[in-house]
Amino acid sequence: QVQLQESGPGLVKPSETLSLTCAVSGYSISSGYYWGWIRQPPGKGLEWIGSIYHSGSTYYNPSLKSRVTISVDTSKNQFSLKLSSVTAADTAVYYCARSPYGPPFDPWGQGTLVTVSS
């Protein structure tokens, strides 16, 4: 059974870079699928951030593209998110999930709350 687990700092200062990792178990990233990041500000809806294929091919939400980098490490079976120049508006629960090229996302990680504050 495929499982995903997000990890990373829970607190990031404004203007700094948010960095998260998603460890995948029960499935080899190299076997296929896209691997994506989705976030949810407290009390608000879901927002797709971007996705990556095991080859390293990426596609990003246009509204975040200038600040986002998603990378993959097939040797560790994990993928990562970097979001630069963060502000309080980037405070959210960040989820990682698996998908084909496009929807649906399944399964999801449990999510990790990242707060942007000085």
d(C-alpha 90, C-alpha 58), whole Å? 21
Site string for another protein, 37-76 (x = CB under 8 A): -x------xxxx--x-------xxxx--------------
Beta strand pairing call for 11-12 and 112-116: parallel
Is there binding between residue 10 and another protein (CB under 8 A)? Answer: no
Is there binding between residue 3 and another protein (CB under 8 A)? Answer: no
Cβ 34 to another protein shortest distance, Å: 10
Is there binding between residue 16 and another protein (CB under 8 A)? Answer: no
- In the sheet that holds 58-60, the strands lie side by side as 11-12, 112-116, 92-99, 34-40, 47-53, 58-60
Give 34: exposed, middle or buried? Use CB within 10 Å, 0-12, 13-18, 19+. buried
- Using the contact rule CB under 8 A, the part of the chain among 10-18, 19-27, 72-80, 100-108 near another protein is 100-108
List the one residue from 19, 53, 69, 111 that touches another protein (CB under 8 A). 111
d(C-alpha 102, C-alpha 118), whole Å? 36
Site residues, another protein (CB under 8 A): 36, 38, 45-48, 51, 59-62, 95, 102-111
